[in-house]
Amino acid sequence: MKAEYDIKQIAISTIEEEAKTISQLKNYIDGDFVSIVELILNSSGRVIITGIGKSANIANKIVATLNSTGTSAMFMHAADAIHGDLGMIRPNDVIICISKSGNTPEIKVLVPLIKNMGNSLIALVSGLDSFLAKQADFILKAVVEKEACPNNLAPTNSTTAQLVMGDALAVSLLECRQFTSQDFAKYHPGGALGKKLYLRVEDVLVKENPPKVSMNENIRSVILEISSKRMGATAVVDSEDKLIGIITDGDLRRMLEKNDEINHLTAQQIMTPSPKTTEQETLAINAFHLMENNNITQLAVIESGKYLGMIHLHDILKEGIV
């Protein structure tokens, strides 16, 4: 068994080899790359990405990235394509074929069939003199000198290069389409990522019977309001429900430390004036950061100065966006 030092060095060497490969890819961003981006942008069809073996795995990932960033894409396994899956290709679809060598038997069978259908063919390939590269209309050059594998066999550098070129393509298309975070949210409605992009304060705000007291209410009323509403705080409002302050559990503790007699105190005397607030349309994640940055756990929600309700840090945390 290799010593611990050797294992670490093997891992470091692998990372360095792949980093070197990636850094050289910028030399292959050429006129073909620009033409490929323009071709896809101007196409009324989809992007169909095909490959076999490890290249098929990379194809699936690139398809997922394109779909999530505004470019409709589908995966077609190169082996299955010649057994019926060619039927998924439509006349205006752009085909990207991924292969390290560009000379595998499946690719040699598949490429002429695609060419006969009249679709534009893009090769994402390392072997620039290969069958695939010579048959393609455009080439995405994922050139690698060798694999990180000491036997130069296991796809490592080559699949990393394919993945990075796929990302470069996807991001180029994204920016050319002026694809925004709002667009991104449409395709990611589930999970933490989606909620960060679309969940707003109004989605977690309970407007019915929010915690609030008037300026002149006594300390007993304040304590009962905080306790019964279970928000750890209450708003202090005027006769028109305009927010003028907030009283938290912490304010109550500090009040007890400073006063021996408390029965005469009113809400206005113990409140924190001009508290941090947010609005209904604010993204929930931004409200969370406001609380986090100010070391508070509640935010009063207002509209034109009028108090609507209160959200607690836990209201946002339970949505799973943090």
Q: The tokens of 68 are what?
A: 């999530």
- 27 DSSP assignment: G
21 class by beta-carbon count within 10 Å (0-12 exposed, 13-18 middle, 19+ buried): buried
Distance between CA 130 and CA 96 in Å, rounded? 15
Residue 283, C-beta contacts closer than 8 angstroms, at least 6 positions apart: 196, 197, 198, 199, 200, 201
Angle, CA of 65, 71 and 73, to the nearest 5°? 70
Q: Is 133 helix (H, G, I), strand (E, B) or coil?
A: helix
Q: Are strands 243-248 and 306-312 parallel, antiparallel or unpaired?
A: unpaired
- Give CA–CA dist 52/50, Å, rounded: 7
Q: Can you tell me the distance from the alpha carbon of 96 to that of 76, in angstroms, rounded to the nearest whole number?
A: 10
DSSP character string of 219-255: HHHHHHHHHHHTSSEEEEE-TT-BEEEEEEHHHHHHH
Q: How far apart are CA 40 and CA 153, in angstroms?
A: 33
Is 77 annotated as a binding-site member?
yes
- 184 near 68, Cβ under 8 Å? yes
- Distance between CA atoms of 236 and 241, rounded to whole angstroms? 9
Residues of the binding site for Zn(2+): 77
Residues of the binding site: 77
